[in-house]
Amino acid sequence: MKLTFLGTGAGSPSLTRNVSSLGLQWPQRAALWLFDAGEGTQQQVLKSSLKLSHLEQIWVTHLHGDHVFGLPGLLASRSSAQDIQTPVTIFGPAGLEEWLRTTLRLTATGLKFPLQFVTVSEGLVYEDDTREVHCRRLNHRVTSYGYAVREKPRPGTFDADAAKALGVPFGPQFGVLKAGGSVILPDGRSVDGAALVGPLRLGRKIVICGDTGVTPAATELSQGADILVHEATFMTDQQERAVAAGHSTAAEAATVAREAEVGTLILTHISARYESETPPRVSDLLAEALAIFPNTLLAHDFWTYEVPAP
């Protein structure tokens, strides 16, 4: 699993940070999921190593423009690319499908591939053979969701050497034992695969909290996550403004990470004020979070983060 930050700014693009978009790659599947697509996301994709041909799903946290205005252009670019006809599914709040389909219709933008929509609500919103996604409603001026992406547990490691020592011939019987079944050897002995397979290997959990103020839902959703990507629009000196706008300070994001006992916190959605001030105060914003949760990183555009294997 690999995270690529396409836009890490808040509200409006700046010279150094575009508005919100985050790519999650599943290299073993050659698959790409996007979380939000603010204005200019298609251009950010072109500047990155991501491929629109791999795009399978788009997860929208909420309907503010800095999180969705890039969707029409992104989809149009994917459609204009040669031979990309695989479907894209877009998950998000109520109203997203109406807005996007209306925009595409009024601009006469036809897509060569099927476009599917899922209106999300709290709980389990997606599941396949190896992954599941849960969401919780957060605390913002409009309906805004956080998403928890979790890999399902995988079977434990099969002890092939122990099987050979028991006299199990290499072949189909190995497969039976790997699956936890039992086999009968030519001498009549029974070998139980459960004794040769280690405990289940837990999958990784990544949580993306879109725009949000303080809410227990963020902590509950993030519980035990390996990676928490959380907005940090302001520092504590702008606390009143953060509350009024439904945003979080760096200290509040770090408090969520500490209380949820996550592995690593990644801050994003950074107000341009902290880079335009003289001297820039982005390092101060990071320091505010580090004082509460030491394993904190600050995202920047085009930064790629490899999610450690469990």
Instruction: Tell me the average pLDDT across 139-144.
Output: 97
Both 99 and 212 in one domain: the answer is yes
Both 104 and 168 in one domain: the answer is no
How far lies 71's CA from each of 9, 29, 41, 77, 99, in Å?
17, 23, 8, 10, 11
Q: Counting Cβ atoms within 10 Å, is residue 21 exposed (0-12), middle (13-18) or buried (19+)?
A: buried
Both 49 and 185 in one domain: the answer is no
On average, the pLDDT of the chain sits at 94
Both 100 and 218 in one domain: the answer is yes
**Tell me: the pLDDT tens digits for 149-172?**
999 987 778 888 888 888 888 888
Place of tokens 């996301």: 41
What is the domain-level CATH number for residue 65? 3.60.15.10
E-strand spans in the chain?
A: 2-7, 21-26, 31-35, 55-59, 88-92, 115-119, 123-127, 131-137, 145-151, 182-184, 190-192, 205-209, 227-231, 264-268, 296-298, 304-306
Q: At what angle are helices 250-260 and 282-290 packed, to 10 degrees?
A: 30
- The reported pLDDT for the residue numbered 294 is 98
Q: At what angle are helices 96-106 and 71-80 packed, to 10 degrees?
A: 60
Cβ atoms of residues 221 and 77 within 8 Å: no
Q: What is the dihedral of CA 11, 12, 18, 22, to 10 degrees?
A: 20
Q: Please say which residue of 143, 168, 195 terminates a domain.
A: 195
- Quick check: pTM over 0.85? yes
Q: Please say which residue of 146, 174, 195 terminates a domain.
A: 195
Both 89 and 213 in one domain: the answer is yes
Question: 72-76, 259-263, 280-284 — which is least confidently predicted?
Answer: 280-284
Place of tokens 């001297």: 279
Cβ atoms of residues 86 and 116 within 8 Å: no
Say whether 161 is catalytic.
no
**Tell me: the pLDDT tens digits for 20-34?**
999 999 988 889 999
Please report, rounded to a whole number, the percentage of residues in the chain having pLDDT higher than 90.
76
Cβ atoms of residues 274 and 267 within 8 Å: no
Residue 68 and residue 92: Cα distance in Å, rounded?
10
Residue 104 and residue 107: Cα distance in Å, rounded?
5
Both 178 and 91 in one domain: the answer is no
Q: Please say which residue of 195, 222, 252 terminates a domain.
A: 195
Map residue 139 onto helix, strand or coil: coil
First to last CA, the chain: 11
Residue 302 and residue 191: Cα distance in Å, rounded?
52
Both 186 and 265 in one domain: the answer is no
Token couple for 72: 């029409």
Report the amino acid identity of residue 237. D
Both 46 and 145 in one domain: the answer is yes
Place of tokens 């890999």: 151
Both 46 and 176 in one domain: the answer is no
Which has more confidence, 280 or 37? 37
Give 108's DSSP letter: T
Both 31 and 69 in one domain: the answer is yes
The gap from C-alpha 216 to its chain's centroid, in whole angstroms, comes to 20
**Cβ neighbours of 265 (radius 10 Å):** 29
- The reported pLDDT for the residue numbered 28 is 83
Both 30 and 167 in one domain: the answer is no
Map residue 267 onto helix, strand or coil: strand
Domain count, the chain: 2
Both 279 and 185 in one domain: the answer is no
Active-site entry in 36, 66, 226, 301: 66
Provide the domain limits for residue 165.
Answer: 160-195
How do beta strands 31-35 and 21-26 pair?
antiparallel
How do beta strands 88-92 and 55-59 pair?
parallel
